[in-house]
Structure 1
């Protein structure tokens, strides 16, 4: 168990996107571009980042570029506590085998970076209709095929075996309409995988924002926290009008959204949670909000662990 001050709380680098200033893919950009972006995060007080593949896809980069990336990290005084794969499903009909290979590559790279978690999910690329929206979750996107669930379990267990050999863990990110799209589905899936190196990422924020009926958030957390080993943590405003059936949601800092994370984090600790946190936020100054969220999480940890 970490102390409150030692607990890894990373910034997700997703807000930077994967396009370099010159229009090329960020993975092909000069190391100075990576350094500039990392420096912005370090200046906000972060000492850990999550280099999601939606930013710099380490799993598909040549070795010399990975070494460059490691050097930039060291130069900027940053560490990696987790590496997330975003919209890179290992059972994608077109790219599943390619994504599986990238996941294996990340499992081999993670220990070199000091990361203890490789986070995967079954969500897939945004649809054209989702890309038109102010918030992509306003319309439905990909829905997992039930017939591919056994393959998803088999490949997840395969990744778990590899992760265990490398002394790290796999975390499955909760996301609507996937095999881990509800608390019950997520618990069922991780039980069917049945591997000690595979747990859940209780990203209930992905569900709370949806414009559809939703169980009380604490009820959802109670189901998944006992299986959780990593946490993409974010919050939203949520409003429901039972008379009209209308919903509204928008990203909010952890302290102000509908989920009371002071209560949820304390409950997670009671249930034995000991994994890293990764701060996420959409819209506005995402990085600035993530920095505020980090400080909030650390204060909650400090309070809870001092008792």
Structure 2
């Protein structure tokens, strides 16, 4: 996942940047050994580029020797009370942008913009964020809006992944399965990002239980890990970002479970803090080392 900022040092944005500027950023990823990227709209909003600029971006990515197996939107909830209409329109444009330049999958979620307290915190998950309206009427509306996006995506040959995230309609394994069943579209699956859940400073659903339930419905996967420490006498919880192989989640086991369940999609390595590009590269090599040991013999 591209960890680069959308707003540049001079106050301009990546949208306005030249192809040479894009290439310079992509070269950082190539130098770190990546062959694929998820450009993510925290870096570049391909939905808001003109068609000519989108084609220019695609050519620049190819010239760097990179591929794009998926594109993630971030904090563009179609159920945000203040900006759902804008976010829904944006999501439709993002689907068309993916189809236009050959990106086969788009990742959506119900997470909303960070609150001022979250934006100020060392780690944003230490502060409570927005909570979805879980009334029957609101949830039904959420299902209908994802169905709308899913049908559009199917028409243009794009898959949709729905990202697990706390306090949303996709906050627990069971709520995700029920939501997928209600959406009932073959091109809509789940991104079981249980790192989003493990890092919370509260009681959380065990990652292994989430994996057992969601990996059979997975079509894309953001992977990140955290150290998690719980003090049973006080209820205190502490978490901190960790490389995949060192954190609390056993990703060797999780990846093996995913492969056994039939997952053949892309792994998107993600990390917060420090040199996330290099930690992501370490995570990438860990996955490459683990995969040959968990793929069933043909």
Query: In the alignment, which residue of structure 1 is the partner of 2:289?
Result: 299
TM-score normalised over the length of structure 2: 0.95
Distance 2:245 2:53 in 1: 38
| Pick aligned residue for 2:11 from 12, 23, 26 | 23
Deviates more, 1:255-264 or 1:143-152: 143-152
1:51 matched to 2:39? The reply is: yes
Distance 2:68 2:155 in 1: 19
SS in 2 for 1:170: strand
Task: Please report how far the alpha carbon of residue 118 of structure 1 lies from its aligned counterpart in structure 2 after TM superposition.
Answer: 0.4
1:204 matched to 2:194? The reply is: yes
Query: In the alignment, which residue of structure 2 is the partner of 1:7?
Result: none
Query: In the alignment, which residue of structure 1 is the partner of 2:81?
Result: 93
1:246 matched to 2:236? The reply is: yes
Task: Please report how far the alpha carbon of residue 43 of structure 1 lies from its aligned counterpart in structure 2 after TM superposition.
Answer: 1.0
Give the 3 Å change call, closer, same or farther, for CA 64–21 of structure 1 in structure 2: farther
Aligned pairs for 1:124-143 (under 5 A) are 124-143=112-131
**Larger RCO (alpha carbons 8 Å, 6+ apart):** 1
Query: In the alignment, which residue of structure 1 is the partner of 2:171?
Result: 181
Distance 1:94 1:30 in 2: 33
**Contact 1:80 1:113 (8 Å CA) reproduced:** no
Distance 2:27 2:101 in 1: 18
| Residue ranges of structure 1 left out of the alignment (5+ in a row) | 1-11
Distance 2:296 2:207 in 1: 26
| Pick aligned residue for 2:49 from 54, 61, 78 | 61
1:123 matched to 2:129? The reply is: no
SS in 1 for 2:44: coil
**Contact 1:157 1:193 (8 Å CA) reproduced:** yes
Give the 3 Å change call, closer, same or farther, for CA 92–108 of structure 1 in structure 2: same
Aligned-CA RMSD value: 1.3
SS in 2 for 1:119: strand
Distance 1:165 1:281 in 2: 33
Deviates more, 1:110-119 or 1:71-80: 110-119
Query: In the alignment, which residue of structure 2 is the partner of 1:9?
Result: none
How many residues matched? 295
| Residue ranges of structure 2 left out of the alignment (5+ in a row) | none
Query: In the alignment, which residue of structure 2 is the partner of 1:229?
Result: 219
